[in-house]
Amino acid sequence: MYKRKAAQTVKWLAMTVFLLMTTGCERQQFLVFNPVGPVARIEVRLIYLTMILTAIVVIPVILLLWFIVYRYRDTPGNTAPYRPEWSESRLLEIIWWGIPIVIVAILGTITVQKTFQLTKPPMHPGPPLTIQVMSLDWKWLFLYPEQNIATIDYCQIPVNRTVEFVLTSNAPMNSFWVPQLGGQEYSMPGMAMRLWLEADKPGSYFGTAANFSGRGFAHMRFNVDAGSDAQFASWVQQIKSSAPVLTPSGYQNLLQQGVAQKTSYSAYPPGIFEQTVSQDGGMYMKRDKVNEMLGHEHVHAR
């Protein structure tokens, strides 16, 4: 009777876990597990590795817990040995200390290797496309210094080309995240943070702010649209010929708290990104690092 009840309990638990895991499990729901670039693929492999190594410990522990509770329960007729004087087992201690140590060593070594690998641009011929990104209250401003155009809450990139996002904030600290292209990177006042990403197939990829920053935080979403080089060049020309100019007064309006609509600008005030970094303490960053990331001989202090 007890075995039958235990089997039924395990069956119902398994069904519950299965239902919870498969609820709303359309593929597009799990963006992190649907990578479309080399950076995201490296990161999803690390996630899978972590899940597998963790399962090596978690699953046996859960099964042992159920077995011990069932086998050594205090019920009439239970034949499990009663050993109140038992205190230790060297073999068991080697197992439950040795296995986690090996797992942590493997996971730590691979994570460190991949983390340093991700600080470098993906191996791809040709110069990267630089996009300067500012998190505002509550919107994202994308600046294209080579093309001298700007956008609000969306950006366009070419496929199979490395993109260098240089991030800062002219508002509270935030976090820039495009799940299908790669991991998060902070945007912080007075800092210029770098994030290398690349898309290897055309599409529109969801991006969001991953750091709470006030009541408008939920609206800080954007799309990264990836297309061919020809489509990117055509898009740039369209912006230059039809979009308005972002004036200094228009930029000051963007700095005010509020949600904005997707907007494009054919030009923007020169130096606003560098001035934003400097005004919030960027002059205290290492000069060679600032110059390298901003691509300028120096950063003007405000």
CB 160 within 8 A of CB 198: yes
pLDDT of 84 strictly over 90: no
Q: With the C-alpha atoms ordered 87, 90, 92, 95, is the resulting torsion angle positive or negative? A: positive
Which residue's structure tokens are 């080579």? Answer: 146
pLDDT of 299 strictly over 50: no
Among the listed residues 53, 39, 61, the one whose alpha carbon sits nearest the alpha carbon of residue 121? 39
pLDDT of residue 296: 47
Among the listed residues 159, 164, 190, 160, the one whose alpha carbon sits nearest the alpha carbon of residue 284? 190
Domain ranges of the chain: 29-73+89-120, 129-294
Confidence of residue 154 (pLDDT cuts 50, 70, 90): very high
pLDDT of 179 strictly over 90: yes
pTM: 0.79
Confidence of residue 213 (pLDDT cuts 50, 70, 90): confident
pLDDT per residue as tens digits for the range 189-206: 988 999 999 999 999 999
pLDDT of 291 strictly over 60: no
Residues in the chain: 302
pLDDT per residue as tens digits for the range 118-151: 888 877 777 899 999 999 999 999 999 999 999 9
According to CATH, the superfamily of the domain at 129-294 is: Cupredoxins -  blue copper proteins (2.60.40.420)
CB 41 within 8 A of CB 32: no
pLDDT of 175 strictly over 90: yes
Among the listed residues 85, 76, 78, 278, the one whose alpha carbon sits nearest the alpha carbon of residue 191? 278
Strand partners for 151: 142, 264
Q: What average pLDDT score do residues 201-220 get? A: 89
pLDDT of 12 strictly over 80: no
Residues in contact with 9: Cβ distance below 8 Å, sequence separation at least 6, in sequence order? none
pLDDT per residue as tens digits for the range 239-289: 999 999 999 999 999 999 998 899 999 999 999 999 999 886 665 565 555
Selected residue with higher pLDDT from 279 and 222: 222
pLDDT of residue 162: 93
pLDDT of residue 157: 96
pLDDT of 33 strictly over 60: yes
